[in-house]
Amino acid sequence: PYPLCALAVSDERPIVRATLGLGIEEQDRRAIWVQDAKTYKAKGAIVTTRAIYGKLLQDFPHKQEFWWDAANFEKKFGSFEDLCNILDRGTTYCPEAESLWLMHAKEVWMKGQVNRARSILEKVLSLIRTVRKFGLLP
């Protein structure tokens, strides 16, 4: 029984991702998937919720609110590595998302990784300087 359970959980994510958009109009995907993530999270379906966030982030990578929601989900239900992975990817796709940078630095700092937190903050400050240099920010 145990190997079958392990197999079921490991197979759940690709199945959810593959079937998530079936029967849904393209313009409705985002709203429906956000609601699905909330619903399955409330039911405690962690693997399903993670798969839905994965699909949201794959299809809408420049929506910082999805990265924020996924990061908060991983903060509560995932590992520190899962959280950092989401925040790394989120700040790559949404470099202007101050909240993601600050959350990343804070979470790393709270784990006692002060130098890593400092490096994250230095990276965002460098990015801001570069953007300002080219007149893209005031």
pLDDT tens for 54-76 read 999 999 999 999 999 999 999 99
Position 41 confidence tier, pLDDT thresholds 50, 70, 90? very high
pLDDT at 138: 52
Can you say how many angstroms the Cα of residue 9 is from the centroid of all Cα atoms in its chain? 20
Task: Spell out the residues 6+ positions from residue 73 whose beta carbon is closer than 8 angstroms to its own.
Answer: 37, 41, 49, 50, 53
pLDDT over 90 (residue 78): yes
Work out the average pLDDT over 22-41.
86
pTM: 0.80
Counts for the chain of helices (H) and strands (E), in that order: 7, 0
Distance between CA atoms of residues 115 and 43, nearest Å: 38
CB atoms within 10 A of CB 96: 15
Work out the average pLDDT over 6-19.
56
Q: How many residues does the chain have?
A: 138
